[in-house]
């Protein structure tokens, strides 16, 4: 055999191997071994964390500025030099998408992925950062003696379907490359600390997309295959399936898909900030905007970011999730230099409330992913890894707020009702939420706790709300599941403070059937 013939045969075999790997990377099969070099694995992990950081700062100025509407084309979205550094130095709270993840990463680093739920819950509850929505109520529940998963359950948390876990689940996918079911198992442990139902599903779906982005370069496959992790009878699944269907129906018109989502899927029934309001922080709608960016972006980093941001609502978290998934698929080296230019100056700077920087997270991410690859049937060699691929499977079916229908938002005037001692009201329905503000004019935040007795139809409950925003819940009180009928509620402030007040802004009323004047 001549040297030329030998080289041709070797080259042919090499090309065939590459083609087979590429094909398997696009449509892998369950239990298939997929090979990556260590450098490829590291690059994808870096791309995932870097993408999140870029995306959240890109959309940061537009967070909840566009409610029930999209951002107009004439509004440019600039990306100036130093953008990430300015947020790090002056508005570090913007990075809650990332430092929340890092709380759970730190638990895994200390105690391993098999750490009990309480380890994750305690780290989350006692962390120094402020929280909002499902996170904030979950923290309050934990600090007041409730355990996970009850802390995130809809009966104890009116924000259960909100976006919170969706923006915190990236770590679960990034540490389980190609191992979607294992990513879902970790989500089950962590996600129920603060969410339930659709709020939990948002995190599962995002984590599964990250996991798949390690083993496929086909974004449509990633988005569609990851949906196998969600029970088909859930509204969350049906919304994502609709978005994928509308993408096929209107492949060059993301705005048409946006309008279809707005028409069919934007009815928020529980989050007190979104009921009867255009504000929508639900996991369902914001997940729809994430996958709109991923599908219509077609692998273009700029276009993906822009669509996820222009769709509105949580316009910093959505491009962060989209850019994280795409960054994982492309790898750090595949993110265009224009977008990486702002990263270098902050990659050694710790995220606020943590002792972890991007560079440290890149290394931790590789270590954790390597551990998970070994733990789930794969291998890690000197220069390559072999991943035993896991096809996504549906997690358990959950539905929040069964037979719950908002029927009235009782507005109490521009200044609300300032509770001096007592307040009474009646309502016809099955539940209510008291939306309120607590204030203390002299800033005595350290120890003061508002104590309020709430009596419902003669049955009294004691509510304790610290003035300190970090450790109290969002609303004064929520009660679901009452028998339908007329109910009498009275509030008594038990420890009035001359320099503080409780302002009841409005009362949300719920029933077990829609309002009679609703249009059919």
Distances in Å between the Cα of 194 and the Cα atoms of 245, 465, 470 are 31, 18, 15
Is 2 part of any domain?
Answer: no
In this structure, are 267 and 410 located in the same domain?
no
Establish if 139 belongs to a structural domain. Answer: yes
Main-chain phi, psi angles of 362, to 5 degrees: -55, -45
Question: Are 147 and 252 within one domain?
Answer: yes
Q: Identify whether residues 332 and 411 lie together within a single domain.
A: no
**What is the C-alpha to C-alpha distance for residues 362 and 358, in angstroms, rounded to an integer?**
6
Whether residue 214 sits in one domain with residue 107: yes
Is 173 part of a structural domain of the chain? yes
SS3 338: helix
- The predicted pLDDT at position 498 comes to 72
Q: How many domains does the chain have?
A: 2
Q: State the CATH number of the domain containing residue 61.
A: 1.10.4080.10
Does residue 7 lie within any of the structural domains? Answer: no
Coil, strand, or helix at residue 409?
strand
* Contact assessment for residue 195 and residue 165, using Cβ atoms and an 8 Å cutoff: yes
Same-domain pairing of 141 and 84: yes
504 within some domain: yes
Domain termination site, one of 358, 388, 418: 388
Distance CA 234, CA 242 (A): 13
Q: Would you say residue 106 has pLDDT above 80? A: yes
Give Dmax over CA atoms of the chain in angstroms. Answer: 99
Q: Does residue 393 form part of some domain?
A: no
Domain boundary among 353, 388, 423: 388
400 domain-assigned:
no
Last residue of a domain, one of 388, 423, 440: 388
Quote the pLDDT of residue 518.
57
CA distances from 89 to 1, 63, 217 (A): 66, 19, 35
What is the value of pTM for the model shown? 0.93
Give the three-state DSSP class for 414.
Answer: coil
Does residue 78 sit in the same domain as residue 122? yes
Cα angle for residues 263, 429, 192 (degrees, 5° grid): 65
Residues 5-14: pLDDT tens digits?
433 333 333 3
List the one residue out of 296, 276, 59, 277 whose CA is nearest residue 167: 59
pLDDT, tens digit, 9 for 90 and up, residues 324-372: 999 999 999 999 999 999 999 999 999 999 999 999 999 999 999 999 9
pLDDT tens digits, 228-270: 999 999 999 999 999 999 999 999 999 999 999 999 999 999 9
326 with 444, same domain? Answer: no
Q: Is the pLDDT of residue 519 over 60?
A: no
Same domain, 366 and 427: no
**What per-residue confidence (pLDDT) applies to 389?**
98
Same domain, residue pair 347 and 413: no
Position 520 confidence tier, pLDDT thresholds 50, 70, 90: low
**CATH classification of the domain holding 426:** 2.60.120.260
**What is the chain's mean pLDDT, rounded?**
92
374 lies in a domain? yes
How many C-beta atoms lie closer than 10 Å to residue 316's C-beta?
Answer: 24
Query: Do residues 271 and 355 both lie within one domain?
Result: yes
Tell me the per-residue pLDDT of 41-65, one tens digit each, with 9 for 90 and over.
999 999 999 999 999 999 999 999 9
Q: What's the rounded mean pLDDT across residues 27-39?
A: 94
Q: How confident is the model at residue 418 (pLDDT cuts 50, 70, 90)?
A: confident
Find the domain containing 141 and state its range. Answer: 30-388
Q: Is the same domain home to 412 and 354?
A: no
| Same domain assignment for residues 449 and 478 | yes
């Amino acid at each position: 055999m001549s040297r030329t013939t030998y080289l041709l045969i070797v080259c042919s075999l090499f090309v065939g191997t590459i083609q087979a790997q590429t094909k398997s990377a696009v449509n892998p099969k369950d239990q298939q071994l997929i090979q990556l070099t260590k450098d490829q694995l590291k690059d994808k992990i870096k791309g995932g964390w870097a993408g999140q950081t870029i995306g959240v700062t890109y959309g940061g100025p537009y967070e909840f500025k566009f409610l029930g509407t999209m951002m107009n084309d004439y509004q440019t979205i600039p990306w100036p030099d130093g953008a990430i550094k300015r947020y790090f130095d002056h508005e570090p709270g913007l990075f809650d998408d990332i430092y929340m993840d890092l709380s759970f990463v730190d638990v895994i680093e200390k105690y391993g992925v098999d750490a009990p739920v309480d380890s994750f819950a305690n780290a989350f509850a006692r962390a120094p950062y402020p929280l909002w929505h499902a996170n904030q109520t979950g923290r309050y529940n934990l600090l007041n003696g409730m355990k996970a998963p009850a802390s995130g359950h809809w009966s104890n948390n009116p924000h259960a379907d909100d976006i919170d876990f969706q923006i915190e689940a990236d770590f679960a996918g990034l540490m389980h490359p190609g191992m979607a079911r294992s990513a879902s198992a970790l989500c089950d442990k962590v996600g129920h600390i603060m969410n339930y139902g659709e709020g939990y599903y948002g995190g599962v779906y995002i984590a599964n997309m990250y996991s798949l982005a390690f083993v496929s370069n086909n974004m449509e496959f990633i988005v569609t295959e990851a949906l196998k992790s969600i029970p088909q009878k859930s509204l969350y699944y049906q919304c994502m399936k609709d978005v994928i269907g509308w993408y096929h129906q209107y492949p060059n018109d993301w705005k048409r898909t946006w309008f279809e989502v707005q028409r069919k899927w934007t009815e928020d029934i529980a989050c007190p900030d979104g009921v009867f309001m255009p504000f929508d922080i639900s996991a369902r709608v914001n997940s729809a905007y994430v996958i709109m960016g991923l599908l219509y972006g077609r692998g273009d980093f700029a276009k993906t970011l822009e669509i996820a941001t222009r769709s509105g609502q949580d316009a910093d978290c959505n491009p962060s999730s989209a850019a994280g998934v795409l960054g994982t698929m492309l790898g750090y080296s595949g993110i265009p230099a224009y977008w990486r230019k702002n990263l270098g100056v902050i990659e050694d700077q710790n995220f606020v409330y943590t002792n972890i920087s991007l560079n440290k997270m890149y290394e931790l991410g590789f270590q954790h992913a390597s551990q998970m690859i070994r733990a789930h049937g794969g291998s890690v060699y000197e220069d390559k890894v072999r991943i035993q691929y896991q096809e996504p499977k549906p997690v358990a079916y959950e539905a929040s707020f069964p037979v719950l229908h908002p029927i009235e938002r009782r507005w109490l005037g521009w200044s609300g009702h300032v509770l001096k001692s007592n307040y009474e009201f009646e309502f016809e329905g099955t539940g209510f939420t008291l939306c309120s503000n607590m204030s203390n004019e002299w800033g005595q935040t350290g120890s003061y706790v508002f104590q309020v007795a709430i009596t419902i139809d003669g049955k009294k409950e004691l509510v304790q709300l610290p003035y300190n925003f970090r450790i109290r819940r969002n609303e004064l009180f929520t009660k679901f599941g009452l028998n339908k009928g007329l109910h009498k509620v009275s509030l008594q402030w038990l420890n009035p403070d001359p320099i503080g007040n409780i302002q009841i802004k409005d009362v949300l009323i719920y029933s077990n059937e829609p309002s009679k004047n609703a249009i059919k």
